[in-house]
């Protein structure tokens, strides 16, 4: 793996645990879907992104996403990990398929805005899934092979691959992570506090490889 100098983050499932219920509500009220998509907020969210164009009215989708943001629990290691990464000079971007209003609410609620060089969401990126990732890469002139995207869903792995960045698993649920590990992600972490070590290890391996080689 080449040295990593950028991380794209999707708040859902990577910076915070989002409840599934608001996403069920979006599916029920905007798409007329009965039954629950999944017990996992992340999986519901990624599932819904396939049909985001059908959300009508968009304002209701936004309101429900803000409800999800307000109910989300920020991971306790998020702030120290982001602070350490920023101090290491790692480029941090939000690359999310949430609405602009939901992302703004999330960053303000947890006072995270200062950590990110840029913030991409479905409104300013003009699309969902891989689109915010690609906009973030282009906007910061990052080489995709030097960038990781944290994800805890199979859709997230696919989206990262389609954008050319390294999909790295957030192994929140061991059983789900075991299934996702079969999809050959570039790596996986149990906790955000491992990300700085991940980046340092890759850099150290590359240095040692040069010495040995």
Partner 1 sequence: MKKISIYKPSTVDQAIQILSQHGTSAAVYAGGTDLLIRLKNRLEQAPSYLVDIKKIDHLRYIKEDAQGGVEIGAATKLAELADSRLLQEKYPMLVEAVNKISSPELRNASTLGGDLLQEVWCQYLRGGYSCWRNGGYLCYGAIGDNSYYHSAMGGRLCYAVYPGDAATALIPFDARAKLATPQGVKELSIEQLVPGDLMVDGRIQSHVVRFNEILTSVVIPPPMPGVRASFEKLRPRGVWDFAMASLAIRLQLREKTIEDARVVFGGIAGRPLRETVVETFLKGKTLSSELGEQAISVALVNAAPLKYNATKIDMAKGLLASGLARLSA
Q: How far is the CB of 57 from partner 1 (least distance, A)?
A: 41
The residues, any chain, with a CB within 8 Å of residue 56's CB and separated by 6 or more, are 30
The structure tokens listed for 38 are 């999944």
Among 1, 52, 60, 71, binds partner 1 (CB under 8 A): 1
Span of 75-83, 117-125, 138-146, 197-205 interacting with partner 1 by CB under 8 A: 197-205
The sign of the dihedral angle between the CA atoms of 43, 46, 48, 51 is: negative
* CA dist 181 → 47, 64, 75, 124, 167 (Å): 19, 31, 22, 32, 11
Question: CA 211, CA 209: separation in Å to the nearest integer?
Answer: 5
**Nearest residue (CB) to partner 1, 108 versus 197:** 197
* Under rule CB under 8 A, residue 188 binds partner 1: yes
Binding mask 63-82 for partner 1 (x = CB under 8 A): --------------------
Closer CB to partner 1, 83 or 204, in the complex: 204
Shortest distance (Å) from residue 77 CB to partner 1: 11
User: What are the DSSP calls for 118-183, one per residue?
Assistant: EEE-HHHHTSSTHHHHHHHHHHHT--GGGEEEEESSHHHHHHHHHHTSEEEEE-SSHHHHHHHHTT
> 123 to 182, contacts with partner 1 by CB under 8 A?
168-169, 171, 174-175, 177-178, 181
Taking the complex as a whole, the smallest distance from the CB of residue 174 to partner 1 amounts, in Å, to 4
Count of residues engaged in binding partner 1, rule: CB under 8 A: 30
Which chain residues interact with partner 1 by CB under 8 A?
1, 168-169, 171, 174-175, 177-178, 181, 185-190, 193-194, 197-198, 200-202, 204-209, 211-212
């Amino acid at each position: 793996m080449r040295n990593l100098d950028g991380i794209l983050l999707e708040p859902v499932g990577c910076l915070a645990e989002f409840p599934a219920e608001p996403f069920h509500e979006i599916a029920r009220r905007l798409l007329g879907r009965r039954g629950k998509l999944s017990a996992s907020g992340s999986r519901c969210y990624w599932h819904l992104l396939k049909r985001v164009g059908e959300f009508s009215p968009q304002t209701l989708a936004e309101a429900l996403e803000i409800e999800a943001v307000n109910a989300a629990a920020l991971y306790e290691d998020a702030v120290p990990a982001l602070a350490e990464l920023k101090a290491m000079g790692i480029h941090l971007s939000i690359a999310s398929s949430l609405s602009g209003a939901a992302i703004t609410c999330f960053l303000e609620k947890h006072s995270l805005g200062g950590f990110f060089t840029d913030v991409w969401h479905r409104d300013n990126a003009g699309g969902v899934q891989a689109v915010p990732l690609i906009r973030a890469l282009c906007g910061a002139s990052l080489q995709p092979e030097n960038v990781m995207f944290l994800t805890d869903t199979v859709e997230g792995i696919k989206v990262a691959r389609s954008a050319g960045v390294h999909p790295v698993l957030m192994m929140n649920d061991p059983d789900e992570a075991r299934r996702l590990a079969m999809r050959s992600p570039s790596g996986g972490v149990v906790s955000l506090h491992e990300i700085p070590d991940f980046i340092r290890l890759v850099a150290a391996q590359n240095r040692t490889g040069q010495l040995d080689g």
